[in-house]
Every structure is written in C-alpha cells, then in structure tokens.
Chains A and B, each alone.
Chain A
C-alpha cells in the first residue's frame, strides 16, 4: 500500500514540478504552507475580534456589520479567516498523507508523526468553535449537534445540549466561554506545532516566497469573488432544517445524525489510535532501520560541524573525555535517524589519511567510512574504461540501476553522507573522468537537509570544503530526485562529454 501511495505522490509531484519548479512545488512544503495559513488565520482573527461583540444578542449583528458595512476590509478579513482555515485542513491532510506515503515516520521520526495527531484534533476543535461564534443558523446547527455529540459520551458532558433548549437557557457566560475557547485552542495549536517540529533542525516553517505571494493572492481573489457570509440569525425556537455546511470541517456531522453519535466517536477514536500506531504498524519498508551514529573521541577535534549539520538535532557538544579544554560530539541514539549526514561533515573523514583502517570522528556503524573507501576503490577498479563515478542516495533512485559501461556506482544512505574529500580522492584517480553526486532535490530531501548541505559543501559555502582544485572542476551534483532516472542518465552523459572534450584531466593540477 505504501508503495502505491508513494508512486501516486511521486507522479503528482512530477507534474507539479513542471508547473511550479522544484523550489516552488507546494507538495514539497505542505507543512510550511499549513503554517502560512495559520498566520493568515491568526492575523485576520485578531482583526475580527476587535469588531466582534461577544454577547449572544450582539454576535450575529456584529459579524453582519463586519461583513457588509466594512466589506472592503472586515469582510475580506472574515473571508480570509474562513478560507485560510479551510485551506489548513486540506494542507494538513495532504501533509499527513505524504509523510505516511514516503515513510517519514519510522525510527526516531515517530515523534514528529505522533505529535502531529493532536494537532488534527486541535485544528478541528478550534475551527468548529469559531463557526459557533457567528451565531447564525449554521452555528446553531453546529452548537446543538456538537453538544449532543459531546453529551453522547457518558463520562464527558452532562447536559451540554440543555444550554441550547431555548434562548432563555443560553447564557452570555457560556457564550463568553466559547469565545475564550476559540482563542485558547488556536494558541494550543501553535504550542503543539512548536512541539511537533521541535526535534527538527531548521524546520521549514516558511514556504518559498513565490508560494507565499501566490497563496495570499489566491485567497484574496477568492475572498473578493465569494465573500464569506452568515446564514440568518440563530433562533433556538426552530431547527435549521437546511444548513450551508462547511464540508472541510463538518463532514462527519451528517453521520452523527444518520449513523449515530457513538459510532462517530468510535470511528474517530479508532482512526486516532490507528494513526498513532502507524510507526509501529509499519515498522519496516524499503529502508531497514540502522543503528545510530557513534562518536570516536580519538578522532574528534570538537569542531562541531556535525552538530551544525545534523537535521534531527541528535548531536550535542560536550567536554572531551580525553583531551582537556577540547570538546567532542555526543549522539543521542533516540534521536538519530542514521542518515549519515554527520559522517559527511566530519573533517577527520578523509580518505587521504594514510591509516590502516579509516575511522572518522563520527560514523554510522552500517556505513563505516572504511567500507565506503573500499567500495569506492572497488567501483573504480570495476570501471571498464575511463569513466564517471556516481555517488547516489538510494532514497532518490535505486542508483545500482545506473551501473553501465564507463559508469561506476556507489550507493549512499543520503547524499549528505559523502565527505567532500571523498569526491576529491576519487576524482584524482587515473581512470576517473569525473564524480557525480546525486540525490533528492534539496527542496525534498528524505533526510531533510542532505542535498542542501552537500551542495553547499561542494560549492564552498559550508564546511568541509573540497580539498583540491581538481574537485571543483570534476565534481558535479544532480538533484534529479526520485522522478527521473532518465534525467540523471542524460546529465551523466553531458558531464562525460564536457569532460572528454576539454581533454579530460588536462586542466587538473
């Protein structure tokens, strides 16, 4: 099932890439877009609150005034408030589906997954509570149905629905409580989001600038074309027989009536439990979990580059155990996803070192540096003619499939796991025309930051750099990503032709 879902996402993403380019692809930044919409909702909400009358009798009229007398600002704010909330459900649902489809919930990533689930509840509670405040027929329907829904749980509500028997049973105090909830729940949601991304270094909470403008323009246009309006005022004496439901948030309400409250509770409970169990229900997939990174204090000089590069904040710097005055890295195994990006950042991870067994300051036991050197050497030995060496991340493509005449392949857990000095080392070998490093697009790296760090290291913006001039000339990256084996093949071919035409190693000093 996961494979099918993944293939589906990949296909849609590819289409979006042609339309939006990788950097602007909304599917790569669903979480960040949800965040953007949160801010739009928050800002418009504050504006609405200024003009909102928090009493039962005044609420509806004050919202009407905002909508009609102040249509050019208040009305637009109200529409933005509604449509950005609706967009949030869509974005969060897609975000969830995608993290699921791409297996980004395993191992230590369970935390991000599980902490996302309460956000769903908070989001729905916050939004449904908001609709309540308008106190129109829609709100009345929601109020009565929601309180009956809560009352259906024997241990929860006792007669919440009794508040809505008639106008005389509904108090301003209860209404103020609802207003309070509609401010508190979104704040809890914000705190929840903070916890949700706490374990991620530099979580992407801002979408690409183009997407920010695009989203705002789209919501604005929609607000002008179809302003959000209320139904008639609530009237507890009659039942609103026909309601204009917001289907994004209230899609289960008709089932509450037709199937029964307790069934809907059961469904929601089961769904929540199943979601929470996902990291353990699907423990294995394409990638087998690896053991966490290990620090070798003898080889650690305390530079803290690994600390800066770890996408999961699994590394802390502590006083060196043997060398007074120095520091050393320490890995929290519960947070480490075994991506190997730290291995690629460590200055001691250089194959130029003349040591029997190459040990880096920090290594993932399943991809030790020594094995990487041996793999690279045997790949070069295996070259049938002068050719290219491809270091490829397996999350983008099964790179072994690109093994061909004149192309030697070494597969990596993540493109960021390759220390730049390795590229140098290989590029200087006689049979090697050039080195290609491939992986997911930086906008959508499986381990979040691998491709980006890799690109920055190779271009000299980030430590460690390439060691020799040869590297700059003969090392290239390709972020064709998971979509396009053929694109990678053709980039390899172009690269080879360029290198051959200028005489191969002629310019290398």
Chain B
C-alpha cells in the first residue's frame, strides 16, 4: 500500500495530519470561552453548619425501667440525643427566595445540620435578610440578620453562619490575592454598605467598561417577570419567581 503513495507526499500528508491534530488540541484546550454568569448577575453564597436544639427532655428512669437494663447501663437519667432540623430563610427585598428545612446529620439525627447554596441574583442594591430557627417547633427565629448591600457584577456575597458568634456574617468581595497582584476588589468588609457605596462612586468616576463578551446563559429575566428592575432600589412586592430558577448547584 505504501508503494502507491510516494514517500515525500506521504510525509507532507503526515505533517498535515499532525497539524490538524495540533490545531484541535490547541484550540479546544481553552476555547471557546464559557460564560456561566451574565454581565448583570452576581452570586450569593449562603452557608451554614449548626446543630439544632435537642428534641425532648431528659427524664429519670423508673425503677422498673432500670431493672430491665443490663447492670452496666443503669444510668438513672436518659437524655435524648436527637436534634431538631433547622429552618433557614433568605429574603431579598422582602421576597422569600429560599426556605429550607435542614435535617440534622448522622443516623441518630444527632449531628449538625449543614447547607451550602449558591444563588445567582441580579446585580444592584438590595436588602438581604436571613433568619434561622434551630428548633422546628419554636414560634420565633432565634437568629436573624439583615444588610442592605450593593452587589456588583460577578461579585460574591457570602453569608455564613458563625456558630461561635451566634450570628450571620456577611462578606462581600472578601479576597486575598497573591503577592504583587494589584486588585481593586478590596478585602473583607466590616460594614459592606459603606464600602460598597464608596466603591460605587469610584466605579462611576472611573467609568469602567466591562470588556467581557456577551453570551448569556442565565438571564435576569425571571427577576424582571417578578417586577424587580435590575440594579435599582425597589420596594419588592413579594413574589420572586420560581426558586429553582434562582438556585443552582444545590445539594440533594
């Protein structure tokens, strides 16, 4: 078969074939670029790890109960270990966007409950309110916190429940960059609103142009449906659209 094609022609074809392969490898190794957040979208990450209250009361064993037990297990008191699931809610401009019951972990439901949710939201100024109930039958939410923030494009607002402080922490653009890399992203903020507004003013001064190409995957359309004008202060009117549209990357 080889005799049919002259050897110099074969070599040229081989080089050609290798070039095609190389071009394919080179191209698809980082192209086409993938946009997974539209230009007018930002992210809220809500995270928590917390143990609910123990369900039920300790009680003293009756003598009959004690007699039924093996000698080495005759403790006079029994305390239940099962913990209550948590109820976690997130509101944006008073609209409920997340409400989840989080079961305690462990086969005896005696561990901590945990959750991590990434929500894609439109950029702009909004009131963010979270609250947490750690006894499911309780009438009140034991932990509550809210901030008015302004989230810029692609910024992450992290809301993490700090069990030690017993409060939610809000963290916006909390970044730590490698040495020598200039950044206008700022560090963790104590009071997000002040800094954000300062930064907003700076942004307007700079007239920053976003050069990222457009190619929307997730649009803010559902927010508009819910009468939520992007990037403006609003008086939210409750309905925030389908929750599924807001969240992704959620656990089971």
Interface residues of A (CB under 8 A from B): 16-22, 57-61, 82-83, 86-87, 90, 138, 141, 144-145, 148, 151-154, 158-159, 161-162, 165-169, 214, 217-219, 221-222, 225-226, 228, 233, 235-248, 253-254, 256-258, 260-262, 484, 487
Chain A residues whose CB sits within 8 angstroms of the CB of B43 once the complex forms = 239
Measured CB to CB, the closest approach of chain B to A202, in angstroms, equals 25
Q: Is B53 an interface residue (CB 8 A)?
A: no
B174 and A245 within 8 A (CB): no
Bound complex: CA of A252 vs CA of B34, how far in Å? 12
- 9 nearest A-B residue pairs (beta carbon): A167-B176, A237-B175, A237-B173, A241-B37, A244-B30, A166-B174, A148-B249, A222-B22, A218-B18
Chain B residues whose CB sits within 8 angstroms of the CB of A226 once the complex forms = 26
Chain A residues whose CB sits within 8 angstroms of the CB of B34 once the complex forms = 242-245, 253-254
Measured CB to CB, the closest approach of chain B to A407, in angstroms, equals 22
Chain A residues whose CB sits within 8 angstroms of the CB of B160 once the complex forms = 165, 169
Chain A residues whose CB sits within 8 angstroms of the CB of B5 once the complex forms = 18-19
Measured CB to CB, the closest approach of chain A to B134, in angstroms, equals 18
Chain B residues whose CB sits within 8 angstroms of the CB of A22 once the complex forms = 1-2
Q: With A239-B37, A241-B153 known to touch, is A18 a contact of B1 (CB < 8 Å)? A: yes
Chain B residues whose CB sits within 8 angstroms of the CB of A169 once the complex forms = 160
Q: With A18-B1, A241-B212 known to touch, is A262 a contact of B252 (CB < 8 Å)? A: yes
Choose among A59, A144, A241 the residue with the greatest number of B CB atoms under 10 Å from its CB. A241
B39 and A241 within 8 A (CB): yes
Measured CB to CB, the closest approach of chain A to B235, in angstroms, equals 28
A57 and B176 within 8 A (CB): yes
Partner-binding segment picked from B65-73, B179-187, B196-204, B223-231: B179-187
Q: Is B17 an interface residue (CB 8 A)?
A: yes
| One of A162, A238, A243 near B47 (C-beta < 8 A) | A162
Chain A residues whose CB sits within 8 angstroms of the CB of B35 once the complex forms = 241-242
A166 and B158 within 8 A (CB): yes
Chain A residues whose CB sits within 8 angstroms of the CB of B41 once the complex forms = 241
Choose among A60, A169, A222 the residue with the greatest number of B CB atoms under 10 Å from its CB. A222
Name 12 interchain pairs, CB-CB below 8 A, sorted by A.
A19-B14, A86-B28, A152-B249, A152-B251, A152-B252, A166-B156, A169-B160, A222-B26, A237-B156, A242-B36, A244-B31, A262-B252
Q: A219-B22, A241-B39, A242-B215 are in contact. List 14 more A-B contacts (CB 8 A).
A: A19-B10, A19-B14, A57-B179, A61-B178, A161-B116, A169-B160, A238-B173, A241-B41, A241-B154, A241-B212, A243-B33, A244-B33, A248-B25, A261-B249
Choose among A21, A152, A165, A253 the residue with the greatest number of B CB atoms under 10 Å from its CB. A165
Measured CB to CB, the closest approach of chain A to B39, in angstroms, equals 7
Measured CB to CB, the closest approach of chain B to A396, in angstroms, equals 14
Interface residues of B (CB under 8 A from A): 1-2, 4-5, 10, 13-14, 17-19, 21-22, 25-26, 28-39, 41-43, 45, 47, 49, 105, 114, 116, 118, 153-156, 158, 160, 171-181, 183, 185-186, 188, 212-213, 215, 217-218, 248-252
Q: With A242-B212, A243-B33, A257-B248 known to touch, is A235 a contact of B183 (CB < 8 Å)? A: yes
Chain A residues whose CB sits within 8 angstroms of the CB of B45 once the complex forms = 165
Measured CB to CB, the closest approach of chain B to A161, in angstroms, equals 5
Q: With A257-B36, A487-B1 known to touch, is A235 a contact of B175 (CB < 8 Å)? A: yes
Chain A residues whose CB sits within 8 angstroms of the CB of B21 once the complex forms = 87, 218
Measured CB to CB, the closest approach of chain A to B50, in angstroms, equals 12
A237 and B172 within 8 A (CB): yes
Bound complex: CA of A57 vs CA of B4, how far in Å? 59
Bound complex: CA of A487 vs CA of B4, how far in Å? 12
A245 and B25 within 8 A (CB): no
Measured CB to CB, the closest approach of chain A to B1, in angstroms, equals 5
Measured CB to CB, the closest approach of chain B to A95, in angstroms, equals 15
A86 and B185 within 8 A (CB): no
Measured CB to CB, the closest approach of chain B to A12, in angstroms, equals 11
B178 and A58 within 8 A (CB): yes
A83 and B178 within 8 A (CB): no
Measured CB to CB, the closest approach of chain A to B61, in angstroms, equals 35
Q: With A148-B249, A238-B175 known to touch, is A168 a contact of B188 (CB < 8 Å)? A: yes
